[in-house]
Structure 1
Amino acid sequence: DYGNAERNSRDNGNGTMEAIYFGNIKVWGYGAGNGPWIMADLENGLFSGVNQRYNANDPSISHRFLTAIVKGGPNRWAIRGGNAQSGGVSTFYDGVRPNVAGYNPMKKEGAIILGIGGDNSVGARGTFYEGVMTSGYPSDATENAVQANITAAGYATGSTGTGLTPGTSVSLRATTACCTDRYLHHTGSTVDTAVVGSGSSATEKGNASWTVRTGLGSGSCVSFESKNVAGQYLRHQNYRLYLQANDGSSLFAQDATFCPEAGRNGQGASLRSLNFSDRYVRHYDNIGYIAANGGSNTFDSATAYSDDVSWLVSSPWAS
């Protein structure tokens, strides 16, 4: 959440918040597709439109950088959003307050929150860059002008020079001191790391080679198709990396898309997950994951994290 919340960090009842929510939880409200969605946290409910739960006009969004807007006035509120790198903002809802008791009139209290619920609950992770809360109800024209300034700023992932150009083939070598002879590799559907060299079999060389594709879930990022198993891509499921066939779904497209950045240890490239933006492709005990820097999972260990998520982009072992 980011926005207007209770001053005492407690749930003070329906209508005591008006914050932007961005995510894919479906407990209270959701929109079309598999998410994530821009919604409004109005306390005791995430709303994607006038109705509780499902509202078809609130679309799933997969932009690497997102402009999200929630605005409200007397018995009126709106959800707007767009790609923070290009284009304008669209309106996903503009109308009366939700048809549930307690949300009209609103009882907003004016505190500002970031990354938590109004009752101080913590239920998600994400990356926030900048935001603003305004007094009053800004016009669409004002927000459109702000969006033009945002796109002009040129948000980018810092992938220049990583060598991950769609249409090329690469191998990805680990940079951790223990493992510099190991490459990101697949053994059947399992994604792991393996020692590969000039004496390796043609199969092993192919298993450690990838064709870079324009991101299935975002054109500003990339996907990795297996060099020797056409149509199968690197994707994550439950934070584990697998090689799987593209089933054409929105979820697969997001799970199989990674945004290159300069290597976090100063070497090569790091690959940020499109739909879990605090997680990067990591090798841990020679198995591939998307991992956060610290967390409850063993593969989220902060030890050697920057090294484990940095990969040298090299010529492919398989031509």
Structure 2
Amino acid sequence: MLKGGPNQWALRGGDAQSGGLSTFYNGTRPTAGGYNPMKKQGAIILGIGGDNSNTGAGTFYEGVMTSGYPSDATENAVQANITAAGYHSGSTGTGTLTPGSRISLQATTAPCCTSHYLRHDDADNKVVISGTNSSSSATDKADATWIVRAGLANSSCLSFESANNPGQFLHHSNYQLYLNADTGNSSFAKDATFCPTTGNSGTGTSFQSVNFPTKYLRHYNHTAYIASNGGSNSWDSSASWAADTSWLVAQPWG
């Protein structure tokens, strides 16, 4: 929040999900070049926040213009309303692959799929990608949320348990991804274990099948598979393979 009066400026900000406001500047107008004297501009840009630097990733900016010089109490009340609204940053890519953590996996393939997340399909047990956002239903958000577990077949790798179907895991069968209950046998454990690597496209994370190490978790025509970079199956197509096999580990939707 930036407010100004005659030779008086204040800049305050906070987390959109919790806590109060911090004051970053409060005093006379800075004398650095471009601040004093200031030139009139033909437009006002709202919503970019500060200097729009890359350190602002994941911050909340919503623009409004007011007249006057609002009190700190007024701004504190606005912040309280924002945190009470429960804004959720599901697409910031800041989830962690720590056993026990809840995450969502965001596709990185542009332009088709960057708003899509890996989820199970309630119509059957297939795993797909589909658009998920703050307006999605609670069920859709939960379907796109996974609990990270130590790998069932290799504790150095990972398995992914459904957040809203406890005991059911992401696993492959005939190279396609499904959600099923852990059978307890070694075959299922291997099919449900994936080793994270640097994203094949240079972005995010890729997930290598523990029992088919040349194959990675991939979306293809909005359906999830394990796929190699070129092969006899249609989902092994080398076109967009690197992007299709690279995922952002995002904060959980559910």
TM interval, short-chain normalised: 0.5 to 0.7
User: What is the correspondence of 1:59-78 to structure 2 with a 5 Å cutoff?
Assistant: none
Partner of 2:98 in structure 1?
Answer: 165
The corresponding residue for 2:140 is: 204
Q: Secondary structure at the match of 1:179?
A: coil
Separation in 2, partners of 1:280, 1:194: 19
Q: State the AA in 2 paired with 1:223.
A: S
One of 139, 146, 157 as aligned partner of 1:221 = 157
- The question of whether the paired residues in 2 share the 8 Å contact of 1:239 and 1:289 is answered with yes
Q: Which residue of 2 aligns with 1:305?
A: 241
8 Å CA contact 2:95, 2:104 repeated in 1: no
Q: After the TM superposition, which parts of structure 1 deviate over 4 Å for at least 4 consecutive aligned residues? A: none
The separation in 2 between residues aligned to 1:309 and 1:227, in whole angstroms, is 22
Q: Secondary structure at the match of 2:96?
A: coil
Please name the residue that 2:126 is paired with.
190
Q: Does 1:254 align with 2:185?
A: no
The 3-state SS of whatever aligns with 2:229 is coil
Residue 184 of structure 1 aligns to a residue in which SS? strand
* Whole-angstrom CA distance in 2 between matches of 1:202 and 1:272: 30
Percent identical: 53
Residues 1-319 of structure 1: matches in 2 within 5 Å? 163-177=96-110, 178-188=112-122, 189-318=125-254
Aligned-partner Cα distance in 2 for 1:294–1:278: 10
Question: In the superposition, relative to structure 1, how do residues 162 and 272 fare at CA in structure 2: closer, same or farther (>3 Å)?
Answer: farther
Q: TM-score, normalised by structure 2?
A: 0.61
**Matched-pair contact (CA < 8 Å) for 2:225–2:235:** yes
2-structure distance, mates of 1:230, 1:163? 20
Root mean square deviation of aligned Cα? 1.1
The 2-side partners of 1:278 and 1:248 are apart by 25
Query: How many residue pairs get matched?
Result: 158
Instruction: Give the CA deviation at 1:165.
Output: 1.1
Q: Is the 8 A contact 2:119 2:128 kept in 1?
A: yes
> Unpaired segments of 5 or more residues in structure 2?
1-93
Q: Distance in 2 between matches of 1:168 and 1:180?
A: 22
Give the distance between the partners of 1:215 and 1:167, measured in 2 at CA: 12
Contact 2:158 2:195 (C-alpha < 8 Å) held by counterparts: yes
C-alpha deviation, 1:301, in angstroms: 0.1
CA distance in 1: counterparts of 2:99 and 2:204, whole angstroms: 17
CA–CA distance in 2 between the matches of 1:163 and 1:205? 18
Per-residue CA deviations over 1:95-131 (Å, capped at 9, x if unaligned) read xxxxxxxxxxxxxxxxxxxxxxxxxxxxxxxxxxxxx
Q: Distance in 2 between matches of 1:261 and 1:164?
A: 11
Provide TM-score, normalisation by structure 1. Answer: 0.49
**Per the alignment, in what secondary structure is the counterpart of residue 139 of structure 2?**
helix
Amino acid at match of 1:187: D
Whole-angstrom CA distance in 2 between matches of 1:168 and 1:266: 24
For residues 228 and 315 of structure 1, what CA distance do their matches in structure 2 show? 16
The whole-number CA distance in structure 2 between the counterparts of 1:309 and 1:235 is: 16
- Aligned to 1:306, the other structure's residue is in SS state helix
- Cα deviation for residue 267 of structure 1 reads 1.1
Q: In 2, distance between residues paired with 1:292 and 1:173?
A: 20
Preserved CA contact (<8 Å) 1:270 1:310 = yes
For structure 1, which runs of at least 5 residues remain unmatched after alignment? Answer: 1-160
**Larger relative contact order (CA 8 Å, sep ≥ 6):** 2
Query: Contact 1:162/1:261 (CA < 8 Å) preserved in 2?
Result: no
